[in-house]
Amino acid sequence: MAYTSDSKQSVLVLDNITIRVRDKFFFNGTNWEIKKDQHWAVIGPNGAGKTTLAAAIAGERAIVAGKISYPHFTSPRDQISYVSFESHQQLIANEEALDAARYFSKKLNSFTTARDAILSTSSKRQDGHPQGFKKVLALLQIEELLNRPIRFLSTGQIRKVLIASALAKSPKLLILDEPFEGLDVQSRTCLSVILHELMKQGTQVILVTHRLAEVVPDITHVLGVKDGQILIQGKREEILVDEKLKELYAPAPINFSTVPRVTDDQENPRQNQKKILVAMKGVKVRYGQTLVLDNLSWTLKSGENWAITGPNGAGKTTLLSLIAGDNPQAYSNEIFLFGNPRGAGESIWEIKQKIGFISSEFQIRYRKSITTRDVVLSGFFDSVGLYRHSSPVQREVARQWMALLRIGDQAEKSFNTLSYGKQRLALLARAMIKSPRLLILDEPCQGLDRPTRKVMLALIDFIGCRTTTNILYVTHHQEEWPACITHILRFKETKAGKYKAIQETARS
């Protein structure tokens, strides 16, 4: 039987739909309606199907039964804008696909700029954008980024570009999947202001988020999703209460007495306090005319766990790439890793063997259609993909890490079919599987639901306090700093518009 709705008031109608993702069906026989002047948040645990639902509404995932209709849209494809992790991933994939053509045409520096990415979604020329859109560029603070290649932008900066790109269409329906992730405090506030103005002017918004604090005040209704079905829905004041949220989020037990290890080495993590793991002296990094790091001197010693914080574009990601060996400018600077100057004999693979690494940028580039188990095992070999045989001991350690992070049931599933949050957990297992001396965590809680964030932070704290691994932790959410943090490297903007790194001791 067809779902009955008031077409005069309906903006979006889901009529008995079913969505298929490979061999799994989501939202079997689901009905849902969004009426005029309603703005919805979609919440639920990792793997619940939130992104699948959002993508189907945006026309980017096919339904196998039922119908999605937009009674007042003459051209839904042109009147709906969608921002997601997948759109970020596709932007980077498209850019990397052009590298071969650049090589053969000898146009090695003809990169896609932020302006190119924004205008590619709209037939309007930049000078044809309405004044309101220029205001969005100013509020998002990306005017100075327009001529910069997207491959040299931070994750947060690219997220801003994608949001601006979505708004370039002047959409009637704006679907945002975790839009605040990767943004600094000021940028999150600015985005909230932009959403308020858009809703007031008649744009309807669907906001997918794991953080209930990001459900902006103008959101009127909430949809709760679990196990591929709609569990609860209603007005925000009826849904965002403890009684209803308990139906969505099962509490995750936290009990770490140990963590899986490759060896039985139980060296006291506070021994050799003076041993230097990372040292930088007067480091400078420049991309074209943009000076990203200027005269940075900093030392990380054994027994220290550092939090790195600062605005989008301050240089945090660049700093991490110098340590991880992914930035060629590391060889033109005075950098010491594990007691050796960079470029003085140790290969990049010998250095990577001592480092575990997880970041949004790395996750975006890990686009291999292999099993989750193989992704975890690839951490032993620091490869994107698994090209070597693993030993029985290594496979057992991988099994233990996946069990610890509660993704053991995903072991045989293809990594690129997992939800964003479950991918993040798999990559944490990949980073920790070799018991590294240094674990670099760039926004590790991004994309994780509330119970899983608690487990993640408890695990990081256990690793930082009870093992020989030292932590380098980057986040825009200071409330998510684990208790093991001993020092802070804080990037602050100077009056000249540059960023200066200030070193502090963490207060207990």
Give a yes or no: residue 152 inside a domain. Answer: yes
Give a yes or no: residue 332 inside a domain. Answer: no
Contacts 24+ apart (CB under 8 A), 375-379: 375/415, 375/426, 375/427, 375/430, 376/401, 376/402, 376/426, 376/429, 376/430, 376/433, 377/433, 378/430, 379/429, 379/430, 379/431, 379/432, 379/433, 379/434
**pLDDT value, residue 273:** 53
Going by the DSSP 8-state scheme, the letter that residue 506 receives in this structure is: P
Give a yes or no: residue 468 inside a domain. Answer: no
**pLDDT value, residue 497:** 76
Give a yes or no: residue 457 inside a domain. Answer: no
pLDDT band at 7 (very low <50, low <70, confident <90, very high): low
* Predicted confidence (pLDDT) per residue in 72-87, tens digit: 898 888 899 999 988 9
Residue that finishes a domain, picked among 248, 270, 298: 248
Do 29 and 176 lie in one domain? The reply is yes
Domain count, the chain: 2
Give a yes or no: residue 25 inside a domain. Answer: yes
Highest-scoring range by mean pLDDT, 7-16, 32-41, 313-322: 32-41
The mean per-residue pLDDT over the stretch 408-433 comes to 91
Residue that finishes a domain, picked among 387, 413, 432: 432
Residue that finishes a domain, picked among 200, 232, 248: 248
pTM of the model: 0.87
**pLDDT value, residue 83:** 95
Do 92 and 222 lie in one domain? The reply is yes
CA dist., res. 373 & res. 395, Å (int): 8
* Predicted confidence (pLDDT) per residue in 214-236, tens digit: 999 999 999 999 999 999 999 99
More confident residue, 155 or 68: 68
The mean per-residue pLDDT over the stretch 263-275 comes to 53
Helix (H) or strand (E) holding 341: strand 340-341
SS (H, E, C) 24-76: EEEEEEEEEEEECCCCEEEECCCCCCHHHHHHHHCCCCCEEEEEEECCCCCCH
78-115 CB burial, b ≥16 within 10 A, e <16: eebbbbbbbbbbebbeebeeeeeeeeeeeeeeebebbb
Give a yes or no: residue 386 inside a domain. Answer: yes
What's the chain's average pLDDT? 87
* Predicted confidence (pLDDT) per residue in 121-147, tens digit: 654 444 444 555 677 788 788 888 888
Helix orientation angle between 185-200 and 131-139, rounded to the nearest 10 degrees? 160
Does residue 353 register a pLDDT over 70? yes
Q: What is the CATH number of the domain that holds 225?
A: 3.40.50.300
Give a yes or no: residue 109 inside a domain. Answer: yes
Q: Which of 317, 341, 339 is closest to 327 using CA atoms?
A: 317
How long a stretch of residues is the chain? 508
Residue 14 is part of which domain span?
A: 10-248
pLDDT band at 326 (very low <50, low <70, confident <90, very high): confident
Residue 383 burial by CB count (10 A; 0-12/13-18/19+): exposed, middle or buried? middle
* Predicted confidence (pLDDT) per residue in 470-491, tens digit: 999 999 998 999 999 999 999 9
Give a yes or no: residue 310 inside a domain. Answer: no
